[in-house]
Amino acid sequence: EMEAKYSRKMQALRDEMDLRRKTEIHELEERKNNQISELLGNHEGAFGAIKNYYNDITAKNLTLISLLKEQVEELKKKEAVLEKEKAEVQLQNKELTEPLQEAQELVAELQKKLVHYYRDKEALMTSKAHLKITQKELKDLQWEHEVLEQRFSKVQEERDQLYQKFTRAINEVQQKSGFKNLLLERKLQGLIDLLEKKEVELSEVLAASNLDPSALSLVSHKLEDVLQSKNATIQDLQFQLARVCKAHNDMLQTFKAKLTSFGIPLDNLGFQPLSFPILGQ
């Protein structure tokens, strides 16, 4: 009995520990999924920040290129001026007979200008190096621009094909709807003509037969039943015609909405689709 008792306790303890282990595993999985979602969000944010950073760098580099070009032109002008001044100073040193002190002061001044010239020359070389890097980046951007233009041309071609399909579908549906409407109208008109003809024949028969009032009443009732049946047929045909007209108009509205959603102007169809606001139009 003690062995059975402790076996049950051991089993209960195992079940409890198993349940606790499953609970902890589930919590670990939830924490892991939360961490994964958080890492994905952080990575997307970091990617967007890096993208914005390189876009800003590209814009700044373009601005820097323009500024460096202007600086290069100014440095060239300064270099030409300095060369000219150097030649003039050398000529003055040979030809002029001014005191040595003035000549030394002039030489010192020219040496200062020469130091500035070398500094400007080094800055110019650095600017040229930056310019080469920026030109390479500009070529990469131009290549991306060409790829985007090719994709844009492909999208335009797909849009034109879709527009042609829409046009053919509109023509086919419009032809079918117009033909069905014409058949229904002709059938309705034929029934109306037949009814008028039958009414005239019946009037002639009644006038020629000289029936008594009771027989005439019976014939009139039968005639009314026939007329009600024909009127019901006419109303049914009119309802079918109205339903076809409504379906045609709904179809036109649907195609117009599709063309508008794809950015195709309605004027590009080349024709004006017919609608049927009035029965029998």
- DSSP secondary structure, 111-128, as one string: HHHHHHHHHHHHHHHHHH
- Measured CA to CA in angstroms, residue 268 lies from 67, 166, 264 at distances of 48, 12, 7
Average pLDDT along the chain: 78
**Looking at 75-171, which runs of residues are DSSP E strands?**
none
What pLDDT, on the 0 to 100 scale, is given for residue 23?
A: 92
What pLDDT, on the 0 to 100 scale, is given for residue 215?
A: 56
What pLDDT, on the 0 to 100 scale, is given for residue 118?
A: 81
């993208």: which residue's tokens? 51
Sequence ranges of the domains in the chain: 3-92, 219-280
User: Comparing C-alpha atoms, which of 204, 198, 185, 205 is closest to residue 230?
Assistant: 198
What pLDDT, on the 0 to 100 scale, is given for residue 221?
A: 67
Tens digit of each residue's pLDDT (9 = 90 or more) over 174-230: 666 667 767 777 777 777 777 777 666 666 665 665 555 565 566 566 667 776 777
Compute CA 75 distance to the chain's CA centroid, rounded to the nearest angstrom.
49
What pLDDT, on the 0 to 100 scale, is given for residue 279?
A: 47
What pLDDT, on the 0 to 100 scale, is given for residue 104?
A: 76
- Note if the pTM is more than 0.75: no
What pLDDT, on the 0 to 100 scale, is given for residue 16?
A: 92
φ/ψ of residue 147, rounded to 5: -60, -45
d(CA 11, CA 5): 10
φ/ψ of residue 181, rounded to 5: -60, -40
Residues in the chain with pLDDT values less than 50: 278-281
What pLDDT, on the 0 to 100 scale, is given for residue 204?
A: 64
Element (H, E) at 205: helix 100-209
User: What count of Cα atoms within 13 Å lies in the side-chain half-sphere of residue 16?
Assistant: 6
d(CA 113, CA 123): 15
d(CA 257, CA 249): 12
Residues in the chain: 281
Both tokens assigned to 73: 């032109």
At a CB cut-off of 8 Å and minimum separation 6, what does 274 contact? 174, 178
Neighbours of 67 (CB within 10 A): 11
